[in-house]
Amino acid sequence: MKMPIYLQEPPEILITPEGVRTDGRGPHDLRPIKMTVGVLNRADGSAYVEWGGNRILAAVYGPREVHPKHLTLPDRALVRCRYNMAPFSTEERKRPGPDRRSIELSKVIREALLPAIFVDKYPGTVIDIFVEIIRSDAGTRCAGTTAASLALADAGIAMRGLVTALAVGRVGDWIVMDPNHDEDMYGDVDVPVAFLMEDKEITLLQLDGPLTEDEFNEALDLAMKGADLVYEMQKEALRRPYLVVERSVAGRES
Amino acid sequence: MSLLVKNREIVLPGQLLAKGNLKPGENVYVDGRGFLRSSKVGLVDLSRGEVRVIPLRGVYMPKVEDIVVGVVSRVAGNTVLLDINSPYTGVLLLPRSREGRRSGRRRTFSVGDVVLAKVRAFDGASNPLLTVEGEGLGKLSGGTIIKVNPAKVPRIIGKRRSMINLLRDKIGRDIVVGRNGFVWVKVRDLQSSLLLERALRLIERESHVPGLSDRVTDLLEGGIAAELPNSDYREV
């Protein structure tokens, strides 16, 4: 996958009248996405996602014993989430440690995933979710949520379904799918959305910038279409390790 | 009867399994419209009108009557705490010393001891209560513990204990499989212990592919020299 080159200056034009974007995509195209599950041996569940220029690791530990003890919920599992950006994940070195932005994203990712988890099956325990941004390129909260949902499923935690997240946005008059770095910085509107795919329940919806009602509906429809595509990739990623074993067994026996 | 997936197919959380009058079994839930969906990554199993999903991964959640292998992590008076490879700590309450003396069996536990116990009570609100009263239960002396994926324990035991009997025949009598994913083993030589570990890893990795016991037999017959793909299945 070729790494897109970013300009220090805002690009002169974000989208041509024909709808060609700065990375050559059409308005309704996703960036290239790759997902792998079970990449960390020490975690109970894990996933690695490449989404455009984003590189994201998600790890899930648990259900396990709660520490500190007083946080224990007697009737259900506690779900904790930490979103963290590596110091080298951005163009300018990011000061390590949680800041206002990553505290917010930890919160929204947790809340986007929580409705999917059957927390009452694991009373008195904790499920810890870690989302580590290794390289960032716009839309990390959505790619992170998507990865974390895979890691939860990989950990064998009981869930209503997978959570799929992606952003849509507006650039000038265009409603675009999956805004890239340029569009995120200099575009007009950014709408991150997460769906619980089982019944398309929306578990995350943020809006940064003005949209008319028609534009909003168009954006949400586009997000739903995009989510369907990402969902297929998630399902393929979860099945892949088992199919690989199946094939290797068949190969050994023939 | 309207199963929407093939029996033994790999399903994912949220996947629609069946509509109609099938009963939801373990790891299956009923959604808002009354359809049956999977809650885990696993294999579908339909038997006697009940759909269940056999999980492929997951931690050990205690169930009453389960036989578990635990490692003593703390002793406080007549309470013994056991690591049972679970989000919960096993609690073993020893009988009052006088009763213990009367039954003629002295039971002392120290940290690090391996104990075969049964889950007597578990309500989710407090830690599971264990007991060592029962045939074959109690301290396991010597030996080592091999940790396996708890979701695969039923495969290690096999239908009507076929797999565990196979392992015992080929490797040694002293193999005890706890429902919690701790396998206790005492063998004479390192070779057997390595062979057992290989067999367990093979079961963990390939249990979802039909013909498992044949492959395990092949491995055990071939001995430690038998070629086995070393790579973890997850390294795709």
Mean pLDDT of all residues in chain A?
Answer: 95
Domain assignment present for residue A119? The answer is: yes
Cβ atoms of B63 and B119 within 8 Å: the answer is: yes
CA end-to-end distance (rounded Å), chain B: 37
Within 10 angstroms of residue A110's Cβ, the number of other Cβ atoms is: 18
Distance CA A10, CA B42 (A): 48
Reported ipTM: 0.91
CB–CB of B12 and A162 under 8 A?
yes
Q: For chain B, say whether A8 makes contact (Cβ under 8 Å).
A: no
What pairing do the DSSP bridges indicate for beta strands B50-55 and B67-76? unpaired
Whether pLDDT at A1 is above 80: no
Distance CA A85, CA A131 (A): 8
Distance CA A236, CA A182 (A): 30
> Sign of the C-alpha dihedral, residues A35, A40, A46, A49?
negative
Q: Could you tell me if residue A233 is left (phi over 0), alpha (psi between -120 and 50 degrees) or otherwise beta?
A: alpha
Contacts of B59 in chain A (CB under 8 A): 44, 62-64, 156
Closest-CA distance of chain B to residue A84, Å: 25
CB–CB of B87 and A157 under 8 A?
no
Whether pLDDT at A253 is above 60: yes
Q: Cis before residue B87, ω within 30 degrees of 0?
A: no
DSSP state of B112: T
Domain assignment present for residue A22? The answer is: no
Cβ atoms of B174 and B164 within 8 Å: the answer is: no
Which of A49, A192, A234 has the alpha carbon at shortest distance from B13? A234
Distance CA A189, CA A172 (A): 9
Distance CA A61, CA A76 (A): 16
Distance CA B165, CA B159 (A): 10
Domain assignment present for residue A28? The answer is: no
A149-161: average pLDDT = 98
Distance CA A170, CA A101 (A): 22
Domain assignment present for residue A184? The answer is: yes
Residue with tokens 């790619």: A143
- Total number of domains constituting chain A: 1
Give residues with Cβ within 8 angstroms of B23, minimum separation 6: B49, B50, B51
Backbone Cα Rg of chain B: 20
Domain assignment present for residue A156? The answer is: yes
- pLDDT tens figures, B115-173: 999 999 999 889 999 999 999 999 999 999 999 999 999 999 999 999 999 999 999 99
Cβ atoms of B53 and B43 within 8 Å: the answer is: yes
Which of A166, A145, A210 has the alpha carbon at shortest distance from A28? A166
pLDDT of the residue at B190? 86
CA end-to-end distance (rounded Å), chain A: 35
- pLDDT tens figures, B56-101: 999 999 999 999 999 999 998 889 999 999 999 999 998 765 555 5
Residue of A228, A246, A254 to mutate for B, most B C-beta atoms under 10 A:
A246
Contacts of A197 in chain B (CB under 8 A): 14
pLDDT-based confidence at residue A48 (cuts at 50, 70, 90): very high
Q: What angle do the packed helices A140-154 and A213-253 form, to 10 degrees? A: 40
Distance CA A10, CA A5 (A): 13
CA A172 vs CA A28, A186, A214: distances in Å: 15, 10, 15
Which of A65, A156, A196 faces B87 most closely, judged by CB atoms? A65
Q: What are phi and psi of A127, to 5 degrees?
A: -115, 115
CA B212 vs CA A253, B169, B219: distances in Å: 12, 17, 11
Domain assignment present for residue A80? The answer is: yes
- pLDDT tens figures, B19-41: 988 999 999 999 999 999 999 99
More confident call, A19 vs A254: A19
pLDDT of the residue at B230? 52
What pairing do the DSSP bridges indicate for beta strands B50-55 and B42-47? antiparallel
Whether pLDDT at B102 is above 90: no
- pLDDT tens figures, B172-192: 999 999 999 999 999 888 888
pLDDT-based confidence at residue B235 (cuts at 50, 70, 90): very low
Contacts of A162 in chain B (CB under 8 A): 12-14
- pLDDT tens figures, B203-213: 999 999 999 99
CB–CB of B234 and A39 under 8 A?
yes
pLDDT of the residue at B108? 84
Residue with tokens 């970013």: A6
Which of A198, A240, A245 faces B37 most closely, judged by CB atoms? A198
- pLDDT tens figures, B6-17: 989 999 999 999
A158-166: average pLDDT = 98
CB–CB of A159 and B40 under 8 A?
yes
pLDDT of the residue at B231? 46
Burial class (CB in 10 A: 0-12, 13-18, 19+), B111: exposed
Which residues form the domain of A59? 33-253
Q: Which of residues 185-224 of B touch A (CB under 8 A)?
A: 205-206, 208-209, 211, 215
Whether pLDDT at B233 is above 60: no
Domain assignment present for residue A20? The answer is: no
Within 10 angstroms of residue A93's Cβ, the number of other Cβ atoms is: 10
For residue A207, what are its two tokens?
Answer: 């809006």
Within 10 angstroms of residue B85's Cβ, the number of other Cβ atoms is: 21
DSSP state of A31: P
Domain assignment present for residue A167? The answer is: yes
Q: Which of residues 64-123 of A touch B (CB under 8 A)?
A: 64-65, 74-75, 116, 118, 121-123
Whether pLDDT at B106 is above 60: no
Distance CA A138, CA A105 (A): 13
A66-93: average pLDDT = 96
For residue B1, what are its two tokens?
Answer: 């009867």
Q: Cis before residue A115, ω within 30 degrees of 0?
A: no
Cβ atoms of A60 and A122 within 8 Å: the answer is: no
Cβ atoms of B171 and A211 within 8 Å: the answer is: no
pLDDT of the residue at A172? 94
What are A253's strand-pairing partners? none
Whether pLDDT at B234 is above 70: no
Instruction: Determine the residue of chain A that is closest to B61 in CA distance.
Output: A122
A219-244: average pLDDT = 97
CATH number of the structural domain spanning residue A183: 3.30.230.70
Q: For chain A, say whether B61 makes contact (Cβ under 8 Å).
A: yes
pLDDT of the residue at A49? 98
Q: Which of residues 122-151 of A touch B (CB under 8 A)?
A: 122-125
CB–CB of A156 and B56 under 8 A?
yes
